[in-house]
């Protein structure tokens, strides 16, 4: 049994708390907001996890100290834009024997750091091992104990294997390891933008052909960035690459797909965010993706188009026309 502190009581953090408690671990689920913590503790339900009864053994807290100190594993499950802020809160209570796990998916605007890199940058003096846990896993399905696969990624395989063993559930969650944490995190962050694009396509009423093209050409754009940054190309054909793109870009459960669908139907960005009602990580990642495109002198037409639409510089149908008007080229062209 491990003592695990999960920082963030959104759908993913709560689903993991339920899973890990059911396996037999001692879990503390931290929320920054007292009203949110009180509702979870009282009702043992999460408003965005319908049909899921939370394990009564989960310990709910708003105190960062008891959620971090003396825990074996600390899981960062906040939206990516709050990872650095949360790491600053946790830092005074961390010790050298703990393992950090991040399930947040994003690239920090300005620094262009992945979430694990942003955590490491914040916790400089702690020098703790950090594992990225990522893959094609809707929180709703994990919470319902439906079969899923995920990847524990760390340059030091020893720590990836520890997390593999801790999170493994013979009932519903198979965990693989990967030492290419950079590639895993790039996939996890950028696939959200492609999911916005496929949502837009469906919102316009286009068919499966268009969606398949966006997924495959979108994957090519993610690979372009990954290779330029030094990631392993094989990662992109795995669970965190193709797997995560497929589940995020084709499912109505995906908030990134939902946002794209609404934008494709003509809703404004503000209306879209209000209707989705949860953080849309792909929108938060757009400026960082464009900055990476410029930094490495790449051509990322799908990501460019989503950015222009979201920034109000181009209408959705206009973006489609522009994509089809591009010069002819060979398919296998990564740069």
Rounded to 10 degrees, what is the CA torsion of 209, 212, 218, 224? -110
Residue 191 bears catalytic tag: yes
CA torsion, ordered 275, 276, 282, 285, to nearest 10 deg: 70
Residue 233's nearest CA partner among 131, 323, 163, 335 is 335
The angle at the Cα of 168, spanning 103 to 33, to the nearest 5 degrees, equals: 40
Q: What is the DSSP string of 2-42?
A: -EEEEE--SHHHHHHHHHHHHHT-EEEEE-S-HHHHHHHHH
Rounded Cα–Cα distance for residues 180 and 188 (Å):
12
Q: How far is CA 54 from CA 62, 127, 240, 277, in A?
A: 18, 34, 27, 22
Give me the count of residues in the chain.
335
- Classified as helix, coil or strand, 73 is strand
Q: Which of 32, 57, 191, 328 does the annotation list as catalytic?
A: 191
- Among 193, 162, 204, 214, smallest CA distance to 283 is for 193
SS3 content of the chain, % helix, strand, coil (to 5): 55, 10, 35
Element (H, E) at 88: helix 83-90
Contact 48, 75 (CB under 8 A): no
Alpha-carbon distance values, 42 to 11, 37, 121 (Å): 17, 9, 37
Contacts of 102 (CB under 8 A, 6+ apart): 75, 76, 83, 115, 116, 119, 130, 131, 132, 133
**Active site amino acids:** 191
């Amino acid at each position: 049994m491990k003592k695990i502190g999960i920082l963030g009581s959104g759908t993913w953090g709560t689903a993991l708390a339920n899973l890990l408690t059911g396996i037999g671990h001692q879990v503390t689920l931290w929320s920054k907001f007292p009203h949110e913590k009180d509702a979870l503790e009282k009702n043992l339900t999460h408003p965005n996890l319908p049909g899921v009864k939370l394990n009564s053994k989960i310990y709910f807290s708003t105190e960062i100290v008891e959620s971090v100190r003396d825990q074996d594993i600390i899981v960062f499950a906040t939206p990516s834009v709050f990872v650095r802020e949360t790491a600053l809160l946790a830092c005074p209570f961390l010790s050298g024997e703990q393992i950090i796990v991040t399930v947040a998916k994003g690239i920090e605007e300005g620094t262009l750091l992945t979430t694990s890199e942003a955590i490491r940058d914040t916790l400089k003096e702690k020098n703790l091992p950090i594992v990225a846990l990522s893959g094609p896993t809707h929180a709703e399905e994990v919470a319902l104990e439906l079969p899923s696969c995920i990847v524990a990624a760390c340059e030091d395989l020893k720590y990836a294997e520890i997390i593999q063993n801790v999170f493994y559930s013979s009932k519903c969650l198979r965990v693989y390891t990967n030492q290419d944490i950079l590639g895993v995190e790039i996939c996890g962050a950028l696939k959200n933008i492609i999911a916005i694009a496929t949502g837009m396509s469906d919102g316009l009423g286009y068919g499966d052909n268009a969606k398949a093209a966006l997924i495959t050409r979108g994957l090519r754009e993610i690979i372009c960035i990954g290779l330029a940054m030094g990631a392993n190309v094989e990662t992109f054909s795995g669970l965190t690459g193709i797997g995560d793109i497929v589940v995020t870009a084709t499912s109505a459960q995906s908030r990134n797909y939902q946002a794209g669908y609404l934008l494709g139907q003509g809703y404004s960005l503000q209306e879209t965010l209000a209707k989705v009602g949860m953080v849309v990580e792909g929108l938060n990642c757009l400026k960082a993706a464009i900055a990476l495109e410029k930094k490495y002198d790449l051509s990322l037409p799908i990501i460019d188009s989503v950015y222009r639409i979201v920034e109000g510089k181009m209408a959705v149908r206009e973006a489609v026309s522009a994509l089809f008007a591009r010069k002819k080229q060979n398919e296998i062209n990564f740069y």
